[in-house]
Amino acid sequence: MIRAALAFSLALGIAVDASAVLIDGIDGAGSVAPFPVEPLYHVGVRGGLSAIYLGNGVVLTANHVGAGDVDFGGTTYSDVPGTAVRLANADGTYADLLMFAIYPRPDLPDLAIATAQPAYLSPLLIAGNGLDRGAELWWDPNGTSPPGVTEGFRWASASHVRFGTNNVEVVPQSRVFNTQVFGSYFDAGQSQPEAQAVVGDSGGAAFSQSPQGEWELAGVIIGIVQYSGQPASTTFFGQRTYYADAAYYRSQLALAVELPEPSGGFAAGIGLVALLAQRRLAR
């Protein structure tokens, strides 16, 4: 398949945001709750963007989304000030990932985290909050060069937590936004409902299945790739979504969820502050 020239964008914040996954299909309006698998309920709304509940009162999101109150299933949970911990790469540099504590704890189980990056072409469930799909449109990203006119969609103004499907199709040899990632393409008619991150999806989740068939957290939406000169507030087939590789950062995520619970309601917050202090002393 010939791919037109593409340009990187942060999934949220500086350039082009990413939001409730935009999906292919008859009208793009499906894929909202009730969800077919329990882990999808762990994806919530953080300041109009997205976040993931890991368990033990701990939330994970993209660092550029930031800490704050989070809504899961229509209930708002308060951010515990001073608990934000940014995840690190093996070389000590920071990734575009952030954990923080909320209170009270959502009535959700601990989220299973992948132990290995999902295999090439393996299926993904993708979920996030943001703008719904608008009207269809067509645009030629390369002028007279192939692939010619490309179908896409405008972004609507309303947003919902929504899920869609895709496959692992991109495994970069280097970091994206200084974060270990894998990616997917938005291809017409490949998986239904085929999904692509759009404005507001940053901090959302990608789930893959373990060998035992359990859906587990495989990635965190952190960025998209758009065509050069693309019209504003649009998505076209052939674009890419990048996900932080949860397996690469698994030890840090698991440590936060497995922190012992001292007395008091802010147990996870106390533990994260301690974790942050230990990491600073270790540098």
Most confident range, picked from 75-79, 185-189, 225-229:
75-79
Average pLDDT of the chain?
83
Indicate whether 169 pLDDT > 70.
yes
Q: For residue 159, what pLDDT band results from cuts at 50, 70 and 90? A: confident
Give me 220's structure tokens.
């965190």
Indicate whether 88 pLDDT > 90.
yes
pLDDT at 86 (0 to 100):
95
Q: Which of 35, 68, 39, 67 is nearest to 55 (CA)?
A: 39
3-state secondary structure of 163: strand
How far, in whole angstroms, is CA 111 from its chain's centroid?
A: 15
pTM: 0.86
Domain 43-109+250-282 has CATH 2.40.10.10: yes
pLDDT at 190 (0 to 100):
67
Mean pLDDT of 239-258: 93
Q: For residue 270, what pLDDT band results from cuts at 50, 70 and 90? A: low
Mean pLDDT of 76-91: 95
Report helix angle 267-282 to 250-257, nearest 10: 140
pLDDT at 193 (0 to 100):
81
> In whole angstroms, what is the distance from residue 41 CA to residue 251 CA?
23
pLDDT at 122 (0 to 100):
95
279 and 271 in contact (C-beta within 8 Å)?
A: no
Indicate whether 1 pLDDT > 50.
no
Instruction: Report the CATH number of the 6-34+113-245 domain.
Output: 2.40.10
Q: For residue 267, what pLDDT band results from cuts at 50, 70 and 90? A: low
Indicate whether 99 pLDDT > 90.
yes
Indicate whether 111 pLDDT > 90.
yes
CB atoms within 10 A of CB 86: 15
For the chain, the structural domain boundaries read: 6-34+113-245, 43-109+250-282
Indicate whether 20 pLDDT > 80.
no
pLDDT at 276 (0 to 100):
55
Give me 54's structure tokens.
């890991």
Half-sphere exposure at residue 84, Cβ-oriented, CA atoms within 13 angstroms:
17
> In whole angstroms, what is the distance from residue 162 CA to residue 11 CA?
16
43-109+250-282 shares the fold of 6-34+113-245: yes
> In whole angstroms, what is the distance from residue 212 CA to residue 226 CA?
35
Indicate whether 8 pLDDT > 50.
yes
Give me 276's structure tokens.
């942050």
